[in-house]
Amino acid sequence: NAGVMQNPRHLVRRRGQEARLRCSPMKGHSHVYWYRQLPEEGLKFMVYLQKENIIDESGMPKERFSAEFPKEGPSILRIQQVVRGDSAAYFCASSPFEQAGGYTFGSGTRLTVV
């Protein structure tokens, strides 16, 4: 049973481009969580999704960021018109049901904006 799969592992974008980060949850998991780790900081919650629904997006920046988790396929975190401050590691986690932590994380996508 593969773990949470994230790709790409590393992503380089120029300022103003779009970044798409993908997360495939563990088999049987229908709940996905996205976190961001800025340099020298801990992980910070961004968004929680179930299949086809955004449940909690209280940690998402108001502009340029969006997330989806379609009925088929991976969850996508999309960042439009990236800026240098978006450079960070983005981690995805999944769980079989809503739970207060203890879920499994992927290896992350390290986004670098140049």
Partner 1 sequence: AQSVTQLDSQVPVFEEAPVELRCNYSSSVSVYLFWYVQYPNQGLQLLLKYLSGSTLVKSINGFEAEFNKSQTSFHLRKPSVHISDTAEYFCAVSGGANNLFFGTGTRLTVIP
One character per residue 10-49, x = contact with partner 1 (rule: CB under 8 A): -----------------------x-x----xxxxxx--x-
CB 35 within 8 A of CB 44: yes
Residues 14 and 83: beta-carbon distance below 8 Å: no
Considering only residues 7, 66, 87, 107, which one is a binding residue for partner 1 as defined by CB under 8 A?
107
CB-nearer residue toward partner 1: 15 or 44: 44
DSSP 8-state assignment for residue 86: G
Peptide bond into 74 cis (omega under 30): no
Q: Is 62 left (phi over 0), alpha (psi -120 to 50) or beta?
A: alpha
Nearer to partner 1, 86 or 103 (CB): 103
**Which residues of the chain form contacts with partner 1 (CB under 8 A)?**
3-4, 6, 33, 35, 40-45, 48, 55-56, 58-59, 91, 93, 98-108
